[in-house]
Amino acid sequence: MQDTKPSSPVVIPRPDHIISRANISPNALKVLYRLKQAGFQGHLVGGGVRDLLLGREPKDFDVATDATPEQVREVFRNCRLIGRRFRLAHVHFGREIIEVATFRGTSDDPEDQDRRLENGMIIRDNVYGNIEDDAIRRDFTVNALYYNVEDFSVLDFTGGMADIAAGRLRLIGDAEQRYREDPVRMLRAVRFATKLGFSIDESCERPIHELGGLLHGVPAARLFEEVLKLFHSGYGLEAFEKLRHYGLFARMFPETEETLSHEEQDFPITFVSRGLDNTDRRIREGKPVTPAFLFAVLLWEPVRRHAQRLEREGQAPLAAVQQAGSEVLSRQQDHVTVPKRFSLQMREIWSLQTRLESRRGKRPHRLITHPRFRAGYDFLLLRAEAGEADTELAQWWTQFQEANGDERGHMTRSESEAPTRRRRRGGRRRRKKPAAGD
């Protein structure tokens, strides 16, 4: 990172920016004022300030202070200290948490246990400093703006206001070094560019193509959280396209990327795109989404192809899907860890795709009461829309849910003894053109 420090910030007085206390969480204001009363500095910082300056409603509010985490805990009885890599204070107000971070500093002492790097990557960082140090330690200029509650001004140490005006995402310091310190910053660049509609500055964009392999050094559990932030943002489809453009998606989902590269203009990319678009719509409409469905979509094509190979070797369809799902998930854990509570649901969604092909007798009546039926049915609809599953099968299950008891009985009795025809894809077969409105 660059050694130069800003000598003093550009101060944007209250008349020259649009931030109003009316748009700031009352609990965040309580934290700022109480820190001030206790003799400490307290500034709103990060994404909250950035979003307020863009006229957006912040998702959360973060505070930066010269008080140590232990001092923050003395000021707030409703405080809990978290983290070892980065020590933070969480001040709880019911369901709302205000995150309070001590100003970060710098240390060149290799023996300093409060700041540890391995191969250029930050492993631990609890060196404290002043607000100037803290500003240049942040990742992007648009996230290094400080709202001062004392005079309602905004402090800009790194040119963040100009970058907001230009719609530009720019790292503070040398881009390659900052990515090496924390490779997740490459994912954050994609996420912020997608969310804000900003362009990534060329100096920050170029190294992403070269340094994507650094993600392999990031704990797979941490990448799970980053994937959720990318794909549960309401802009997941656009994030997916950018990740593929920079070669980052392949680093996290190598088996999926391998299958996507075979049929770029056809299934399976259509299926993944429809799944992400469906998730985006649900988020924008305020409907619930689950990581299990997201990851089931992202990993379905590797599972489906492996299951087909197992069937050709003599496995029964359901057993083949179950074995393929377990093996694909096991390999995926080396890249992005999926917690067990979600991986179990994913297996159920995948298994239901085979079970939903049974439409005779009592099986449909039992399946419709399955706790994962709705997710499995929605998954089937996506497959049908993408041309990978029979549209008629999806329509039958739609009608079955809407039918009354007598009608359901008639539907299951009228089904032929012959099993539903299962569509198999091979090579580069083109899917049928979807009907209007699909």
The answer, yes or no, to whether the previous bond of 268 is cis (omega within 30 of 0) is: yes
Among this protein's residues, is 60 annotated catalytic?
yes
How many Å apart are CA 96 and CA 60, to the nearest integer?
9
How many Å apart are CA 238 and CA 236, to the nearest integer?
5
DSSP E strand boundaries for 18-72: 42-45, 62-65
Residue 220 makes CB contacts below 8 A (sequence gap 6+) with 333, 334, 335, 336, 337
- Comparing CA positions, the residue from 64, 62, 54 lying closest to residue 28 is 62
How many Å apart are CA 56 and CA 282, to the nearest integer?
20
- In this structure, what token pair is assigned to residue 28? 């965040």
DSSP E strand boundaries for 188-328: 199-200
Q: At 70, which amino acid appears?
A: E
Question: Contact, 37 vs 65, CB < 8 A?
Answer: no
Residue 160 makes CB contacts below 8 A (sequence gap 6+) with 50, 140, 141, 142, 143, 144, 145
Q: Please pick, among 51, 125, 139, 163, the residue that the annotation labels catalytic.
A: 139
Question: Contact, 47 vs 62, CB < 8 A?
Answer: yes
Among this protein's residues, is 62 annotated catalytic?
yes
Among this protein's residues, is 125 annotated catalytic?
no
Positions annotated as catalytic residues are 60, 62, 139
